């Protein structure tokens, strides 16, 4: 079909100050392909222009992880087109609904972007390629099987005729897609599997308006909001008299659980908001604190009737027979995602009863649902324009609180485009936090130091309970709370994992690699056992991994790349950890030093990852680097404390992020073994905390059982 120009609104914003030129910016969400009358949609994923430019539609979100480019590579690989002519655009969520969810999942989390859409996007590319060949063959009146294709050019060798994709796209689009297509063997890839440059970077280095907060619309107003500092609280009383008179202020919007000021600039809105007295009904949680939350988790650990996430063999008998029993308790605090771009939503309730939303979302369908519900409109009357995310890390997926709020404010001012953005303080104190948890581990060793029994009790709030209750298993077990234990690869014959779901009032959410704190607990505890057994931590682990376990390969690869066992400069010490998750297998060696004053320097991280296949090696390395920095902050100093029912930390001065001088050297060893598709967005954070903390033990003899390190004195005793 030929796409009509009017199908989607083409939004233009001009700025008169771009280096003396008048610049016209087109939003990437606005379909450049669909905007040109002559472009042809060959199938839902692929639009081809007469000049052979190919636009690949991307259903997943781009938050820095590189999926936008990797998926385009997979489509282009099968399409067999000229990569230099490929661009990408986000698929329209409104069209998605109208076309019966034709683009599959639009959710972007769990390192799923590539691995769980690779099959259908590759088939879309292959299917379009076959249709283009069929169209050329029909024009030449030759069998399609007599034609070949390469780089977007179809050839009929016997007659030396050639046609470009752009010349046959319109005819191809009219053909029925083939019933079956054969996908290329990854070993034959020419576009996928290569470190091609990312499609999103040029606009990003130019500062083009690609993010949710950059949206600018004619007559647009700005909103800043305040929510009850105590989670679950409501607005009791406001005094808007001063705020309403402040310069630029257009309206004060009061909802059940937040107050918004709308003004002609965000700063004016926020200044007025800060001057508005608001009384909150804090509900029943005004006395919650670190202490009450710890008490809640401890009560869970002591519960005699906990559901079991794993039960192997007879742990009681094995503990009775053990030569040595070792126990340890570990814990972690709540953590905010702290995306650099605060939560934001721009909404425009149009007079004709159509709602347009622009937002940085990890889940456009969830955004559609939240927007439709808040506006009281059917999904068909809603469009969500997907913007680039200024970081996601799990914050912008399940919870669509920011979309519901943005639409609620726009509803109070129908016909006016309204951009809502949270202040950093609001963002820090109204997150969906990485759960705080306490875990008690107990292991029984035989005379040779082998682990014959392990019992783990986990007290942790459930992410799924609120955000995805259908994903809880029958026993009420949240897999994100028990991971790394319920699926522990070590061949310990007797295992028991008990889960105490204890949900406080602090909202919890999917923080990069949900459940990653369990890898910290498990892999540090294994290190404790190796020390008790007097064994090398890598040998100790290898002895507990089956011969065909993919964890072995990455562990051996990391050990080799890090020259495990060789001498290090004075004062430098190593630690190791493994973890599998998000479809991939990961092992890491950390090198650290600790000064006489107790200051830690993480010097070098060697990480080996087996993700089966690798679509863009450079992006995968970038994700490993990103996971290291993201995890490092949580090791060094990040925590969200609770006092008087609210989060204590408010901004980056008391929730620090690592700076460039804290960045260790990261060496990523990609060891794809083929045959499966693993993710890269999260796996490398899993072994980071245990590898670093095991290295700290090697350096200082101090065992870190609770993070962050600000609570520990690392000076040698």
Residue ranges in contact with other proteins by CB under 8 A: 13-20, 23, 63-66, 197-198, 200-202, 204-211, 213-214, 216, 222, 247, 264-268, 338-342, 388-393, 421, 423-424, 618-619, 622, 625-630, 651-653, 657-661, 663, 665-666
411 in Cβ contact with 420 (< 8 Å): no
158 in Cβ contact with 146 (< 8 Å): yes
Q: State which residue, 108 or 285, has the beta carbon closest to other proteins.
A: 108
Question: What's the closest the beta carbon of residue 338 comes to other proteins, in angstroms?
Answer: 6
Q: State which residue, 13 or 102, has the beta carbon closest to other proteins.
A: 13
What is residue 640's three-state secondary structure? strand
Tell me how far apart the alpha carbons of residues 406 and 359 are, in angstroms, rounded to a whole number: 9
Q: State which residue, 195 or 710, has the beta carbon closest to other proteins.
A: 195
**Rounded to 5 degrees, what are φ and ψ at 541?**
-70, -45
Burial class (CB in 10 A: 0-12, 13-18, 19+), 223: buried
Question: What's the closest the beta carbon of residue 255 comes to other proteins, in angstroms?
Answer: 23
Question: What's the closest the beta carbon of residue 629 comes to other proteins, in angstroms?
Answer: 3
Cβ neighbors of 54 (< 8 A, separation 6 or more) are: 46, 47, 48, 76, 79, 81, 82, 85, 86, 87, 152, 165
Q: State which residue, 569 or 675, has the beta carbon closest to other proteins.
A: 569
Question: What's the closest the beta carbon of residue 260 comes to other proteins, in angstroms?
Answer: 16
Both structure tokens of 276:
């508005």
Question: What's the closest the beta carbon of residue 212 comes to other proteins, in angstroms?
Answer: 10
Q: State which residue, 372 or 688, has the beta carbon closest to other proteins.
A: 688
Q: Count Cα atoms within 13 angstroms, Cβ side, for 706.
A: 15
Identify the H or E element spanning 16: strand 12-18
324 in Cβ contact with 526 (< 8 Å): no
Tell me how far apart the alpha carbons of residues 372 and 223 are, in angstroms, rounded to a whole number: 20
Question: What's the closest the beta carbon of residue 159 comes to other proteins, in angstroms?
Answer: 43
Tell me how far apart the alpha carbons of residues 222 and 345 are, in angstroms, rounded to a whole number: 10
Tell me how far apart the alpha carbons of residues 99 and 696 are, in angstroms, rounded to a whole number: 55
CA 706 to chain centre: 24
What is residue 610's three-state secondary structure? strand
Q: State which residue, 87 or 290, has the beta carbon closest to other proteins.
A: 87
Q: State which residue, 391 or 444, has the beta carbon closest to other proteins.
A: 391
Tell me how far apart the alpha carbons of residues 413 and 572 are, in angstroms, rounded to a whole number: 61
Tell me how far apart the alpha carbons of residues 357 and 348 are, in angstroms, rounded to a whole number: 6
Question: What's the closest the beta carbon of residue 715 comes to other proteins, in angstroms?
Answer: 24
Question: What's the closest the beta carbon of residue 418 comes to other proteins, in angstroms?
Answer: 13
Question: What's the closest the beta carbon of residue 18 comes to other proteins, in angstroms?
Answer: 4
Question: What's the closest the beta carbon of residue 394 comes to other proteins, in angstroms?
Answer: 13
Question: What's the closest the beta carbon of residue 554 comes to other proteins, in angstroms?
Answer: 21
Cβ neighbors of 571 (< 8 A, separation 6 or more) are: 593, 594, 699
∠ CA 69-70-71, rounded to 5°: 95
Tell me how far apart the alpha carbons of residues 657 and 227 are, in angstroms, rounded to a whole number: 24
Q: Which residues pair with 444 in a beta bridge?
A: 325, 453
Q: State which residue, 202 or 701, has the beta carbon closest to other proteins.
A: 202
Sheet holding 249-254, edge to edge: 249-254, 258-263, 221-227, 418-421, 344-349, 355-359, 382-386
Question: What's the closest the beta carbon of residue 189 comes to other proteins, in angstroms?
Answer: 20
Question: What's the closest the beta carbon of residue 657 comes to other proteins, in angstroms?
Answer: 5
Q: State which residue, 285 or 360, has the beta carbon closest to other proteins.
A: 360
Tell me how far apart the alpha carbons of residues 10 and 36 are, in angstroms, rounded to a whole number: 10
Q: State which residue, 13 or 138, has the beta carbon closest to other proteins.
A: 13
Q: State which residue, 257 or 654, has the beta carbon closest to other proteins.
A: 654
| CA nearest to 579, candidates 531, 661, 650, 524 | 524
Sheet holding 572-581, edge to edge: 572-581, 584-594, 600-610, 665-670
Q: State which residue, 551 or 623, has the beta carbon closest to other proteins.
A: 623
Question: What's the closest the beta carbon of residue 348 comes to other proteins, in angstroms?
Answer: 17
What is residue 426's three-state secondary structure? helix
Both structure tokens of 595:
């000064």
Q: State which residue, 207 or 534, has the beta carbon closest to other proteins.
A: 207
Q: State which residue, 553 or 657, has the beta carbon closest to other proteins.
A: 657
Both structure tokens of 311:
């039960």
Question: What's the closest the beta carbon of residue 26 comes to other proteins, in angstroms?
Answer: 14
Sheet holding 40-43, edge to edge: 40-43, 46-48, 54-58, 86-90
Q: State which residue, 229 or 342, has the beta carbon closest to other proteins.
A: 342
B/e letters for 570-603, b = 16+ CB within 10 Å, e = fewer, are eebbbbbbbbbbbbbbbbbbbbbbbeeeeebebb
Write down the number of H helices and E strands in the chain: 20, 29
């Amino acid at each position: 079909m030929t796409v009509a120009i009017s199908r989607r609104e083409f939004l233009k914003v001009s700025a008169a100050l771009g280096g003396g030129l008048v610049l016209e910016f087109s939003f990437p969400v606005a379909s450049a392909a669909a905007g040109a009358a002559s472009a042809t949609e060959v199938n839902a994923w692929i639009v081809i222009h007469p000049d052979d430019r190919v636009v690949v539609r991307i259903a997943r979100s781009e938050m820095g992880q590189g999926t936008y480019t990797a998926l385009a590579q997979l489509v282009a690989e099968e399409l067999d087109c000229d990569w230099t002519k490929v661009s990408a655009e986000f698929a329209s969520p409104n069209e998605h609904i109208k076309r019966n969810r034709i683009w599959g999942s639009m959710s972007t989390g769990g390192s799923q972007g590539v691995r769980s859409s690779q099959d259908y996007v590759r088939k879309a590319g292959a299917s379009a390629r076959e249709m283009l060949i069929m169209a050329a063959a029909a024009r030449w009146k030759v069998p399609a099987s007599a034609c070949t294709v390469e780089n977007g050019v179809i050839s009929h060798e016997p007659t030396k005729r050639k046609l470009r994709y752009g010349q046959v796209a319109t005819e191809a689009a009219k053909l029925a897609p083939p019933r079956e297509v054969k996908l290329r063997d990854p070993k034959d890839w020419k576009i996928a599997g290569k470190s091609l440059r990312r499609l999103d970077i040029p606009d990003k280095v130019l500062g083009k308006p690609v993010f949710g907060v950059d949206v600018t619309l004619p007559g647009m107003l700005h909103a800043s909001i305040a929510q009850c500092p105590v989670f679950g609280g409501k607005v009791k009383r406001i005094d808007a008299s001063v705020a309403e008179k402040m310069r630029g202020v257009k309206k004060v919007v009061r909802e059940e659980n937040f107050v918004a000021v709308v003004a002609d600039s965000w700063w004016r809105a926020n200044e007025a908001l800060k001057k508005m007295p608001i009384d909150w009904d804090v509900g029943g949680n005004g006395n919650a604190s670190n202490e009450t939350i710890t008490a809640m988790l401890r009560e869970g650990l002591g519960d005699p009737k906990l559901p079991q996430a794993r039960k192997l063999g007879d742990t009681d008998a094995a503990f009775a027979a053990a030569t040595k029993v070792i126990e340890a308790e570990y814990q972690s605090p709540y953590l905010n995602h702290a995306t650099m771009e605060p939560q934001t939503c721009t909404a425009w309730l149009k007079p004709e009863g159509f709602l347009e939303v622009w937002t940085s979302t990890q889940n456009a369908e969830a955004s559609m649902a939240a927007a439709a519900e808040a506006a009281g409109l059917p999904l068909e009357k809603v469009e969500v324009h997907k913007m680039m995310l200024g970081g996601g890390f799990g914050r912008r997926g399940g919870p669509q609180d920011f979309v519901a709020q943005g639409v609620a404010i726009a509803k109070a001012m129908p016909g006016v485009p309204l951009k809502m953005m949270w202040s950093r303080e609001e963002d820090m104190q109204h997150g969906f936090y990485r759960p705080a948890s306490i875990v008690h581990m107990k292991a029984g060793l035989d005379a040779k130091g082998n682990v014959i029994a392990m019992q783990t009790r986990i007290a942790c709030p459930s992410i799924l309970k609120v955000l995805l209750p259908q994903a809880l298993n029958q026993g009420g077990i949240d897999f994100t709370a028990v991971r790394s234990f319920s699926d522990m690869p070590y061949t310990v014959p007797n295992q028991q994992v008990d889960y105490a779901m204890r949900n406080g009032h602090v909202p919890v959410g999917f923080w990069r690699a949900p459940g990653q704190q369990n890898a910290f607990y498990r892999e540090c505890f294994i290190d404790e056992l190796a020390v008790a057994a007097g064994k090398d931590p890598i040998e100790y682990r290898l002895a507990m991994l089956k011969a065909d376990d993919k964890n072995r390969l990455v562990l051996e690869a990391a050990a080799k790349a890090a020259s495990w066992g060789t001498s290090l400069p004075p004062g430098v010490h190593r630690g190791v950890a493994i973890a599998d998750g998000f479809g991939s297998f990961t092992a890491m060696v950390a090198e650290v030093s600790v000064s006489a004053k107790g200051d830690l320097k993480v010097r070098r991280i060697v990480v080996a990852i087996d993700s089966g296949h690798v679509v863009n090696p450079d992006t995968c390395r970038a994700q490993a680097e990103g996971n290291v920095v993201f995890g490092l902050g949580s090791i060094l100093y990040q925590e969200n404390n609770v006092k008087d029912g609210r989060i204590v930390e408010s901004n980056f001065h008391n929730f620090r992020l690592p700076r460039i001088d804290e960045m260790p050297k990261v060496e990523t060893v990609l060891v794809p073994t083929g045959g499966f598709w693993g993710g890269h967005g999260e796996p490398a954070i899993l072994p980071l905390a245990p590898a670093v903390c095991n290295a700290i033990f090697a350096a200082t003899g101090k065992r870190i059982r609770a993070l962050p390190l600000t609570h520990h004195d690392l000076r040698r005793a």
